[in-house]
């Protein structure tokens, strides 16, 4: 026996983070912002994107990358709302998207002909928060059919998100969901989080959502233009 120790001290996420940094550089160079949508299954990510594509496809060139554990059902739904390519990523069991999958999906996107990239992550409030995808910002969706205390139960997800989109507000009259309590919990775990109240069914709150999207497109294109100048 000749046992010895090899010092490693390497972060487990180092390779993913390096690929994510490369994705971020590609998007920045092209002046294209990307938003990573995360939530528990069934919170309404796909419906929000369907509405967004239907309402904005004439004014913004939007690329979408859609992750699911199995099936391309969500990608098929979104493809019906846009003439542009919707990239489906079937993770085959993995509970989150990683930077390598997003990088490969972006290879099929003409970034010079794109204003905005959406990444619809796998429905899960735990794992996706640990994987950087090179996104400009994280968006967490949170339906009124869930408990108000979701932010307390899954703090990492809400701490890492810049926006919290409360969805399905059209159902509030039929539920005991206390919006003020939910907002309080959101602020407890992330005082800076921007909160939107939306219903993709009735259109409530979508104007604010679209303003955020346009602001990101505007900011990213100016950053790229300044870097080029």
Query: Which one of 12-20, 76-84, 105-113, 165-173 is the stretch in contact with other proteins (CB under 8 A)?
Result: 12-20
Q: How many CB atoms lie within 10 A of CB 23?
A: 22
Query: Which one of 5-13, 25-33, 70-78, 212-220 is the stretch in contact with other proteins (CB under 8 A)?
Result: 5-13
- Does residue number 135 form part of the binding site for other proteins (CB under 8 A)? no
Q: What are phi and psi of 164, to 5 degrees?
A: -115, 120
- Does residue number 168 form part of the binding site for other proteins (CB under 8 A)? no
Nearest distance in Å: CB 38, other proteins: 13
Nearest distance in Å: CB 109, other proteins: 25
- Does residue number 8 form part of the binding site for other proteins (CB under 8 A)? yes
- Does residue number 96 form part of the binding site for other proteins (CB under 8 A)? yes
- Does residue number 156 form part of the binding site for other proteins (CB under 8 A)? yes
Phi/psi zone of residue 203: left (φ > 0), alpha (ψ -120 to 50 degrees), beta?
A: left
- Does residue number 94 form part of the binding site for other proteins (CB under 8 A)? yes
Question: In angstroms, what is the C-alpha Rg of the chain?
Answer: 18
Q: How far apart are CA 112 and CA 31, in angstroms?
A: 9
- Please pick, from the candidates 60, 69, 90, 126, the single residue that binds other proteins as defined by CB under 8 A: 126
Q: How far apart are CA 134 and CA 121, in angstroms?
A: 13
Query: Which one of 1-9, 24-32, 99-107, 168-176 is the stretch in contact with other proteins (CB under 8 A)?
Result: 1-9
Distances (CA, A) of 212 to 20, 29, 94, 121, 153: 23, 21, 30, 19, 27
């Amino acid at each position: 026996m000749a046992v010895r120790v090899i010092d490693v001290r390497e972060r487990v996420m180092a390779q993913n983070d390096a690929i994510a940094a490369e994705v971020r550089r590609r998007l920045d160079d092209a002046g294209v912002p990307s938003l990573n949508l995360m939530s528990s299954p069934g919170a309404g990510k796909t419906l929000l994107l369907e509405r967004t594509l239907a309402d904005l496809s004439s004014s913004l060139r939007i690329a979408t990358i859609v992750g699911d554990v199995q099936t391309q059902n969500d990608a098929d739904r979104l493809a019906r709302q846009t003439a542009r390519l919707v990239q489906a990523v079937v993770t085959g069991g993995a509970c989150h998207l990683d930077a390598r999958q997003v990088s490969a999906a972006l290879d099929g996107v003409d970034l010079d002909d794109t204003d905005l990239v959406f990444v619809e992550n796998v429905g899960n409030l735990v794992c996706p928060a640990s994987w950087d995808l090179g996104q400009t910002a994280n968006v967490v969706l949170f339906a009124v059919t869930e408990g108000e205390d979701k932010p307390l139960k899954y703090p990492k997800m809400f701490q890492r998100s810049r926006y919290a989109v409360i969805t399905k507000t059209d159902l509030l009259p039929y539920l005991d969901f206390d919006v003020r309590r939910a907002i309080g919990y959101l602020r407890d775990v992330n005082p800076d989080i921007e909160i939107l109240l939306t219903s993709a069914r009735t259109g409530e709150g979508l104007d604010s959502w679209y303003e955020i999207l346009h602001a990101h497109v505007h900011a990213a294109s100016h950053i790229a233009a300044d870097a080029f100048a």
